[in-house]
Every structure is written in C-alpha cells, then in structure tokens.
Structure 1
Amino acid sequence: MLELAAIGVAASLAAGCMTGLGGAMVAFGGPPSERRHNLLMGFAAGVMIAAAFFSLIIPGIERAQMTGSSRPVAAAMVIGAVLLGAMAMAQLGRLIELATAGRPGFEGKRTIKALSGEQHRIALFVIAVTLHNIPEGTAVAVSFMSGDLQLGWATTLGIGIQNIPEGMAVAAALSTLGWSPMRCMLAALATGLIEPVGGLIGVAIVQTSMAMLPWALGFSAGAMLFVVMADIIPQASRRIEHGSATPALMAGLAVMMFLDVTLG
C-alpha cells in the first residue's frame, strides 16, 4: 500500500509538471493563436470527460461492488460522490471570486483590490487553475491506490495531457502583463506543483479506509467534470469565431477512450 501511495503521489507530481511544458511552449514559441488555443482546450475537455468516466466513475462502481454493495447501491454511491465533487468545485469557485473581489473577511483583499480590471481577471484565472489542480492530483493518487497500475497510468496521462493547454493559457495570460518568458514558464509550472498536495489528500483518505475508495474516485470525477462543463467548454464556446472546438473535443475523447481500453 505504501508503494502504491508513493507511486500515486509521484505520478500526481509528474502530471502537474506538464503545466510547465505548456508554459515552456509559450515562452519559447510565443502565445498560441486563438484557433490553436481553442483546439487545445477542446482536446483537453475530451480527455478529461473520458478519464472521468472510464478511469474514475466506472472503476469506482466496480470497487463499491467488490466491497459487497449491489450494483444499484454502488452506482448511487458513486453518483452521490460525483455530485459532491462538483458542488465542492462550485463552492471553491465562489470562494475564489469573493477573495479576489476584495470582499470583507478575506486576508488577500488589499492585494487583489489594488489590481486593475485586466490584472484582476488574470489573477482570478491563475488562482482558479491552481486550486482546481488539487482534485486532479487526488484523482491520480486515488487511481493508483485502487491497486490497478494501468488505471493509474491512464488517469495520469489524461490529466497530464489536459495540463499542457492549462499551462499555455496561464503563461499566455501573464505574458499580456509584461512578464518575461521565463517568469511566465515558472508561474505555469507552479500552478501544477500543487497537484501532489491533492495526491497526499487522496492517499490519506484511502489509507484511512479502503471503503472510501469509491467515494474518492467519484468525488475526483465530479470535480473534473465540473471544471470541463463550467470552465473549459464555455470558454471554448465563447471563442467560436476562431473555429469550433467540438472536433478537438471528440478527438480527445476518442484518444483517451482508446488508451484507457487498451491499457486496461
């Protein structure tokens, strides 16, 4: 179990570091065009949707059945966990908005309040990307803690792939504020380095009780799906004049499905 925990945390770190790769692509190749960015985000959305269902939800139901639950009960359990994960991410988003808007009761209000409108928007985006990487790290570690290394590597691959355009988006946004290419790259990398924190949380939950594994898998899936539905897809839709991201989303979905089935 300790070996699986160590692999899970290390894999969450590897997946998180992929944001640095995205930042490096912007630092050395320049910000991506609107069309290229749209396609990357669409591909990432497809990867995350497939990873949520094939690497987290379905295995979560199977694990719940292995503990003695009937299939309907196992499905209800994991669905409940998915909804909890989505609600947690929604609440996290509200807290981020309150903090960056300088509302009373938040320590960071003086810093963020002094920012211009554009700086405030970019700060909100970077904080949101950073914090939502926590449940992604949890998803990676929990998938390894299930004992299925192939499932773990498939989840790591899926999250790592979608971290690349995230890193590109962070670096590109910061470059508009006049940041140097190196600072943009390092900032993009830093947003992903929080994923091992999520990995440690996932390991702690599962080690407390293996019965929590289906809940942890479902919760991670819900968090990932919320990010896709509430952030990535709407963002791509707003850029529709630069080309539809739907073909890229379907490509990401197909690639991740193929990898998950062949690796699993």
Structure 2
Amino acid sequence: MSPIFAGFLASLIAGLATGVGALPVLAMRGVDAARQSLLLGFAAGAMLAASVFSLILPGFEQARVMGSDIADATLTMAAAVLIGGFAMSQLGALLPQMDSGRLAPVAGTSQRARSVWLFVAAITFHNIPEGAAVGVAFGGDSLRAGLPTAIGIGIQNMPEGLAVAGALVALGYTRLRAVQVALATGLVEPIAGLAGALVVAAATSLLPWGLGIAAGAMLFIVLSEIVPDLDLGVRVGQRGATAALAIGLALMTFLDTAIV
C-alpha cells in the first residue's frame, strides 16, 4: 500500500470515529434544560483539554522539531492562537442572529443555537490539522509514526462527536440529524490527510500554525460562548454543568496524553 493511500485511509477512519462517538445520542430521550447544561459542560471541558493537549503542545513540539528555539516556537504558537481566536470572533460577528424558525428548532434558544453552531464550526476547523497530522505521518513512509497517530486521533474524535451531537440534541434537533452533523465534522480529516500525505514538506512547515489557529478558535468558543451560558445555568441551580465540564476535561486529557 502506498504511503499516500495509507495516509488517506487512516485519516478517513479517524474521521469516521467522530460519527461513531456520536451514536450514543440515538438512545437519548428528551433533553431538558438541566441535561442541556450537562452536555454543553462536557463539550466545553473536552474542548479545553483538546486545545492544549491535542493542538498547542503538539504544535509547539512540531515547531521545535523543525528547528525553532523555545522562544520562537512559543511566539509562533501564541501568534497562531491569537489569529484563531480573532478569526472565530469575526465568524461569530458574521453569523446572523438565529431564531426559532432557522437553525434553532426550540423556541427561545437563539443565543444558545449561535453558540452551538460556532462550537460545531470550531470542531470542524480543528479536525483539519489533525487530519493533516495523520497524512504527514504516513506520507513520510513511517507506519510506526502514522499508525499510533491515527489511532490516537480516532479515539480522541469519539468524545468530540458525542459532544457535537449532544449539543445539537440539546437544541432540539433530531438525534439522527445530530449524528449526521457530528459525522460531517469528522469527514474533513481524510481531505486534510490526503493533502498532508501529498505535500509532506509543506504540510509539516504549516502544521504548527494550523494547530495553533485551531486551538485559538476552540478557546474563543469555549470562553466567550459556552462558559458564560454555563455560568448562567449555575446561578439558577444547574450546578451539574460544572461537574460535566470537569469530566470532559479529565477524559480528553487522559485520551490526549495516554493514547498518543
């Protein structure tokens, strides 16, 4: 099997894992306000951990491997994170105020719908450098490097898929549609994986920037959109969201550090 095809196939399987992770929502029943907060809390925790352990730290390490000293690698990642946050803030400003007749099927959830769809966009965006990382690993004709990378990213994608689908179910979307959207967020990975395998040198040089930009986008969504919503829930007695955030953070931290 050629390294290019192996990179594409491995990134495709890793991307499909996002849809697999979303499957448990098919067994969920109705989602009340308390469960909405739990699902979004879990998603926020998973995104915080993924931002640091899946994106910022690997980007820093990749920059160091490419020859940057500690200061240059740090500046690269800091700049990339700021660019990602700024880009996502501009995307948020461009999004129309969603109402119950458009993207938010549950009346009174327009602000939460906006937050969730920004969250979905951030997850999709962060899957691009992950797919490229798999493609680069295989494109270098290194099964030893590529296989663990693909397995690790695939496992990490499963709770991300659950977070996406759960957040959409919390908005009132059908469980099947929520799973479909979660799967779609992962299918950008094989495209990026193929590109990474085809242009290993270019993809490697851009990988720290891609990882940092994706991290900045995710951090912006968590801190500006999801956490304020959770804080409101806590103030009205929905304290389980804090525990859900901690669980999501702990689970993704374990997957990011123990698997890859």
- Answer whether contact 2:24 2:162 (CA < 8 A) is retained: yes
Amino acid at match of 1:214: P
Amino acid at match of 1:9: L
Q: Please, which of 2, 7, 10 is the counterpart of residue 13 of structure 2?
A: 10
The 5 Å alignment of 1:188-227 reads: 188-200=178-190, 202-203=192-193, 206=196, 207-208=198-199, 209=202, 210-227=204-221
Moved over 6 A (4+): none
Give the RMSD, CA atoms, in angstroms: 3.2
**Cα separation, 1, equivalents of 2:176 and 2:50:** 27
**Cα separation, 1, equivalents of 2:254 and 2:113:** 36
Post-superposition shift, 1:84?
1.6
- Answer whether contact 1:47 1:253 (CA < 8 A) is retained: yes
Number of the residue aligned with 1:25: 27
Judge which range, 200-209 or 228-237, deviates more: 200-209
The 5 Å alignment of 1:58-73 reads: 58-73=57-72
Change (3 A) 1:145 1:215: farther
Number of the residue aligned with 2:85: 86
- For structure 1, the 5+ residue unaligned runs are 102-110, 176-183
Change (3 A) 1:78 1:202: farther
**Cα separation, 1, equivalents of 2:107 and 2:255:** 42
| 3-state SS, counterpart of residue 239 of structure 1 | helix
Amino acid at match of 2:39: L
Amino acid at match of 1:194: A
| 3-state SS, counterpart of residue 193 of structure 1 | helix
TM-score under structure 1 normalisation?
A: 0.75
- 2:252 matched to 1:256? yes
Amino acid at match of 2:21: M
Post-superposition shift, 1:155?
3.8
TM-score under structure 2 normalisation?
A: 0.76
**Cα separation, 2, equivalents of 1:201 and 1:10:** 12
Aligned length: 241
Change (3 A) 1:146 1:86: farther
Number of the residue aligned with 2:51: 52
Amino acid at match of 2:57: I
Number of the residue aligned with 2:140: none
* Alignment deviations for residues 230-249 of structure 1 (CA, whole Å, 9 cap, x no partner): 23222222211211533332
* Alignment deviations for residues 185-243 of structure 1 (CA, whole Å, 9 cap, x no partner): 22112322332453256336644412111111212222222222223222222211211
Amino acid at match of 2:169: A
Q: Identity over the aligned pairs, expressed in percent?
A: 29
* Alignment deviations for residues 8-54 of structure 1 (CA, whole Å, 9 cap, x no partner): 233123214534532x133xxx1234334323332332222222211
- For structure 2, the 5+ residue unaligned runs are 138-144
Post-superposition shift, 1:129?
5.0
- Answer whether contact 1:81 1:222 (CA < 8 A) is retained: yes
Amino acid at match of 1:12: G
Amino acid at match of 1:199: E
